[in-house]
Structure 1
């Protein structure tokens, strides 16, 4: 028998030996199937375009909400420092936006606010893209898990602290500000975490419940997802505003008693309603309008990559 014939006869045996593991248990040989190696499939199709869609969506949302947020934040700080009233500050900003738009949108305050919300939305979008890549789901799919909450909270907190520091330097009082005490910083951190959770994680969870209670006529004008994106971040201000007020009071009135007519609790209760309304007016464009624009723009752009 030639080598070629022998190789041909032994080929099935070699294949069988490659697929089976033999255990020596005395005079008999027991064959055991080797465990199959499972290959994980990742959805990497057009990944570069998908990340670009994430950036464009975040940029569109950030550019849309930045003007009004810039005006409100500038007005609040100027009013607190005594440099201007809230109403007059906003009027001046509106006048500049209408008469000299190029100067407004190239200003440092606008750039800071745009960077804050672009960074927050882009982080949320890339978490969704990473999830769709790792779990091989459609590119337009979104998530509502812990990783998204932690990532968006971290990005928003870091960018917001940087923005607040710069805004204070630009529009605060001429004198040097006292350092922010740790309890105030902790309360502001919890406040922002609640807002982020209500802006990015709760809407996808609550949208099905909203849809079940929406008539067909209402759904023709607004989807349940959009409604949840508007209502949830605004409604949660009723919970987060007391934390905001308590943190401010600890900074403005160090050493004040918690109870009593002029204590911290009484101060928070007195300012809770109007302060909640003001923060709702700010949060709706920031995470309501911006969140809807970001979500819809991303869905439309991702549809072209699927």
Structure 2
């Protein structure tokens, strides 16, 4: 009877340090993008609720960040946003580490597929829904602190699923196509993978922003009809263009800049450990 071949050993070398590198990369990306995203998210919600115009809210928050950074960075909104993106990136990083461990591949190996989408989207959805419920109550209609309705949660869930798919799964798939159109000279300045990481999350906001606005309107204006002179559809269409640009402005740092920083910091740290 032939002897059984031993299975390939797991790649557990420096596993604790690798998980630490995952956390450092996620933390570097999170702290870099959280300030601008906090400012934009607050502005969009205050504009939708009528508390403040989008431009006025952005200026007020930016002034606070510059004049009293300790107060801004210690505020509940900033902590919520940082926790959201740290948790999302850390989940994606540790999934790559777990995969490299189980498949005995180099520590810097990254993945792109259904498991990564499910893991990152689950973490992001849970954290983002909590963040959105708190932001909606903090900056929604004045005097309203009622629970966020289930349809709003459902719309936020669909919105975030689209963003996660466009942020973690589409860039690796689109990068080869982008590379064929960029040429070698252009890729000296920015890789095709980085271009795809910037473009795809921003582009999907054209589709996901109406879902976001409708979810906010369901909270801010209970009992309003979908159609009509001041119906929900009219309000969503009114704010769609400006809100889309604002959300692109937050998504590019969140999953563009943040994604690139997270990837490069993790790759650099893992390269040293290898």
- Normalising by structure 2, what TM-score? 0.90
Aligned to 1:92: 60
Larger RCO, structures 1/2 (Cα 8 Å, 6+ apart) = 2
Query: Conserved in 1, the CA contact under 8 Å of 2:205 and 2:247?
Result: yes
Moved more, 278-287 or 254-263: 254-263
Q: 1:269 to 1:78 in 2, by over 3 A?
A: closer
Distance 1:78 1:265 in 2: 19
Query: Conserved in 1, the CA contact under 8 Å of 2:163 and 2:205?
Result: yes
Structure whose residues are more often helix by fraction: 2
Task: Choose which of 215, 229, 232 in structure 1 pairs with 2:183.
Answer: 215
Task: Choose which of 240, 258, 282 in structure 1 pairs with 2:250.
Answer: 282
Distance 2:53 2:75 in 1: 21
Distance 1:183 1:34 in 2: 61
Shift, 1:98, TM fit = 1.8
Aligned to 2:193: 225
Task: Choose which of 182, 185, 188 in structure 1 pairs with 2:150.
Answer: 182
Q: 1:187 to 1:142 in 2, by over 3 A?
A: same
Distance 1:242 1:107 in 2: 28
Moved more, 163-172 or 133-142: 163-172
Q: 1:164 to 1:243 in 2, by over 3 A?
A: closer
Distance 1:104 1:180 in 2: 25
SS in 2 for 1:123: helix
Aligned to 1:24: none
Matched residue count:
274
Shift, 1:279, TM fit = 1.6
Aligned to 1:161: 129
Aligned to 2:268: 300
Shift, 1:277, TM fit = 2.0
Shift, 1:164, TM fit = 2.2
Q: 1:282 to 1:239 in 2, by over 3 A?
A: same
Shift, 1:36, TM fit = 1.1
Gaps of 5+ in 2: none
Distance 1:41 1:164 in 2: 43
Task: Choose which of 237, 241, 250 in structure 2 pairs with 1:273.
Answer: 241
Query: Conserved in 1, the CA contact under 8 Å of 2:129 and 2:157?
Result: no
- Normalising by structure 1, what TM-score? 0.81
Moved more, 62-71 or 178-187: 178-187
Shift, 1:185, TM fit = 1.9
Is residue 245 from structure 1 mapped to residue 247 from structure 2 by the alignment? Answer: no
Shift, 1:238, TM fit = 2.0
Distance 1:87 1:161 in 2: 25
Distance 1:289 1:305 in 2: 24
Q: 1:215 to 1:151 in 2, by over 3 A?
A: same
Distance 2:226 2:137 in 1: 31
